[in-house]
Structure 1
């Protein structure tokens, strides 16, 4: 059984901006690789990349309701993932979590 307390720091850093996700990847290198940290790195990286890709297109909608709903949706997903990391739980993000786990399975 891995020590989740040690991996929590790496998992939390992953949710602190996309740069934090990249830093967390380097923190979770081979010699001290944690499955818990890898799980949250995949979730956070997928969340940030999809936010930037989809946000680009939502911005062209030029509708404050669409933009507000988009930001609210991603903020709720971010909170859900971040709280899972803080609490030491591996909970996939609703709707997109399984996709991110499969897409980034090599991390």
Structure 2
């Protein structure tokens, strides 16, 4: 299992680069299908989709009081996820991580 984590660690960390990182990590993981990398790809994609969705919703408001909490929330999810990947753990991000694994289960 430890070898599985080490071989998938680069793709797992790459998946947390918001936006393009998920697609790079999916490409890196396309041949060997590392379970550790797949877990973090789903987490990274979920965070990216959450960021885009919340950004679209709150972009209509021109208020720091509305946008700052979104940025803090995304930063907390992102830092938790990337820290987990660096440590070699498969802990879902707070609040939404289990949903990401369920909703994005077709992505490996």
Q: TM-score range by the shorter chain?
A: over 0.9
CA RMSD after TM alignment: 1.1
Structure 2, unmatched stretches of 5+, are none
Q: TM-score, normalised by structure 2?
A: 0.92
| Partner residue in 2 for 1:36 | 36
Moved over 4 A (4+): none
Q: How many residues align structurally?
A: 106
Q: Deviations 1:45-72 (Å, cap 9, x if unpaired)?
A: 0100111111111121222111001101
Structure 1, unmatched stretches of 5+, are none
Q: Deviations 1:10-53 (Å, cap 9, x if unpaired)?
A: 001101122110111111124x1111100000000010011111
Higher helix share: 1
Q: TM-score, normalised by structure 1?
A: 0.93
